Structure 1
Amino acid sequence: MKQLSLLFIATILTLSSFAFETGTDTVKYWKSKYESAIGFSQTSLTNWTKGGENSVSVKAMINIFEDYSKGKFTWNNYLGAAYMIQKQQSTNWRKADDKLNLFTKAGIYAWKHWDYTGLLEFKSQFSNGYNYPNDSVYTSKFMAPGYFQLSIGLSYKPVDYFSVLLSPIGARLTVVNDQTLSDQEAYGVKKGEKSLLQAGASVNAIIKKDLFKNVSLLSKLDLFNNYLKNPQNIIVSWENNLLLKFTKYISVNLATMLIYDDNILYKDPKDTSTDKGSPKTQFMETLSVGFTYTLSR
């Protein structure tokens, strides 16, 4: 499974280099955008009576888009990754953000603004995650969980910067490639098993727009409804990335992520009354200032 994930990543990166290096005969069919940033934040307190701690954080992110269009055929590819670590005066370095997301989507023209479309998407993370302050037992790692989603349906694209895929037929595979987490029935798998297959409907929407000259927005919403179990529950993943460039290389990056998945059980480490967790709405927000590099063609 790890080899499959690495192959998927390598494919997207190969497409990226191909689109940027090809000559004029093929460039007209490709639209490419490469966006990377590394940001920092720091707090220093001296004799500060209101409380708080000295802290520092570092975040790196990358977004690569490769879009191909020729005649009635379109092909969209995306690689998004982010990693953030932070340190407070009283703690060691801790992970604060960790994202790996790839998708490839192919469509054939159906009628005005609509395409027959198929999508394959992969989501995971790079390193072990912990339910701090407990940093001795991991709760997640690369490919634990890992998510693969296949969707087939109709996509609607009324403007260049917005599209939504409506899929009544699809599958979602959750992989927990770790025996310890599998034995804990983490992320919805049965004890001892390393995968969970769900069949259902999905909605995948994306906005990729330059709001102003130096302000760009990427918003991605994924919804999945499992036909086979608890169909009243919707799995939600909604991420936003706002990039404000002050100069060619200096920027502010605001990122948010909202997740709800009834297969993910959260237990408050301060709650000692029970060993069991429950589904919770998860939300994360990060703000960083740093260096950015953008290339489009």
Structure 2
Amino acid sequence: MKNCLAAIILILSFCSTKLYAQEIDTIPVNTKGMNIKLKRSPLPSRQGPLNFEPVKIKPLVVNAKVNYWKTRTNIGININQAQFSDNWKGGGTNSIAVGGLLNYRAEYNKNSYSYVSELILQYGKVKNKDQLQKKTNDRIFWDNKASFQLSKSWFFFGSVSFESQFDNGYRYFRNNNQEEQQVLISRFMAPGYLTESIGFEYKPVNYFSTRIGTGTARQTFVLDSTVYDGKKNVYGVDKGKRFRNELAFQVVSAFDKDIFKNTNLKARYNMFIPYEDISFSRIDHRLDVALTAKINKFMNTSLTGVILFDKDTDPKVQANQTLALGFGFTFPR
């Protein structure tokens, strides 16, 4: 009996020791922060060859065309009208004024070649009660320039420009009866100017450029003899002739930039030095400035001015200025 009991106790002791060992073997160990490196298996491993099969993809054809042309058209219309009753004590004169502007610009750029064509048409008229109609603006200007890029800021260019007016221009005076009279002094192609020029252009930025026309020719046309009004020479053309040709050195500078939000400043300066005048006493200067501010989508206000010094037309400096409020449209929008 004692032997059986001893055997049972021995068996139980052996089993409990085995269970305890199993519990210790399964205790989890925190390996965070421990530098454990796995040894590479010394047994060689062999990978089979990778087989790639080509996949045929159909080419995607995009039907797209590159347009090297950029165009812009500005149209402005302004109207001013005033009406007074016969017994209006504040004084005033019934009047109506209408003005219009069209500015078209087309530009072509491809590689080192560029072409720019700009057309400016301006016309305005005012009519006051008991007075003759008078022009407030009248100009036709068409400039064409082709250029080839020589370096980052320098171009070789050739240009042709035309300038004249739409309507008759008059000199006004009053006779002995204080009646207003008019005398014709200009009209379409009297005068008219055609200028051809070749040279170099400096254009460091998109909004500013200067042309240096070392070889420039200008033809001045007077195709209506009635504008002479007893004079032997008008606009540099002798009476009995139709045009005059001049060779000259020309400088043309242009500036066109939005200086503020919705406010654009555009200026153009032209200096013309005839080669035949070695004393440089007949240098022609012309400065055109236009400041345009956009009020809303369809309305704007503009301030324009011209300063001209040309001894062939007048020995003194000529100037005009116009302030207008009207409708403006730009295409494409």
Q: TM-score, normalised by structure 2?
A: 0.73
1:194-241 deviation per Cα after TM superposition (whole angstroms, max 9, x unaligned): 111111100111112222332222211111001113533211121122
Compute the displacement of 1:32 (Å): 1.6
Return closer, same or farther for 1:214/1:264 CA change in 2, 3 Å cut-off: same
Compute the displacement of 1:135 (Å): 4.6
AA at the equivalent of 1:189: V
1:50-77 deviation per Cα after TM superposition (whole angstroms, max 9, x unaligned): x653433111001111111110101111
Compute the displacement of 1:41 (Å): 2.6
Runs of 5+ in structure 2 lacking a partner? Answer: 1-62, 174-179
* Alignment partner, residue 88 of structure 1: 128
Structure-1 separation of matches of 2:262 and 2:319: 27
* Alignment partner, residue 30 of structure 1: 69
Structure-1 separation of matches of 2:107 and 2:265: 17
- Local SS of the residue matching 1:181: helix
Runs of 5+ in structure 1 lacking a partner? Answer: 1-22, 266-278
* Alignment partner, residue 73 of structure 1: 113
Which of the numbers 89, 98, 101 marks the counterpart of 1:47?
A: 89
* Alignment partner, residue 164 of structure 1: 210
Which of the numbers 126, 130, 139 marks the counterpart of 1:99?
A: 139
RMSD: 2.0
Compute the displacement of 1:128 (Å): 0.4
Alignment of 1:267-282 (within 5 A): 279-282=315-318
Which of the numbers 57, 75, 81 marks the counterpart of 2:97?
A: 57
AA at the equivalent of 1:177: L
* Alignment partner, residue 263 of structure 1: 312
Q: Which has the higher contact order (CA 8 A, sep 6+)?
A: 1
- Local SS of the residue matching 2:162: strand
Structure-1 separation of matches of 2:167 and 2:307: 20
Alignment of 1:60-209 (within 5 A): 60-133=100-173, 135-181=181-227, 184=231, 185-209=233-257
Structure-2 separation of matches of 1:24 and 1:170: 42
Compute the displacement of 1:296 (Å): 3.9
Please state if 1:227 is matched with 2:280. Answer: no
- Larger of the two Rg values belongs to structure: 2
Task: Give the strand-richer structure, 1 or 2.
Answer: 1
Return closer, same or farther for 1:24/1:287 CA change in 2, 3 Å cut-off: farther
* Alignment partner, residue 41 of structure 2: none
Structure-2 separation of matches of 1:96 and 1:135: 18
- Local SS of the residue matching 1:47: coil
* Contact 2:225/2:239, CA 8 A, preserved across alignment: no
Q: Using the aligned pairs only, state the percent identity.
A: 32
Structure-2 separation of matches of 1:63 and 1:24: 30
1:87-128 deviation per Cα after TM superposition (whole angstroms, max 9, x unaligned): 222313211210100010011011120000111111000010
Structure-2 separation of matches of 1:94 and 1:26: 48
- Local SS of the residue matching 1:239: strand
Structure-2 separation of matches of 1:254 and 1:24: 43
AA at the equivalent of 2:102: I
Q: TM-score, normalised by structure 1?
A: 0.81
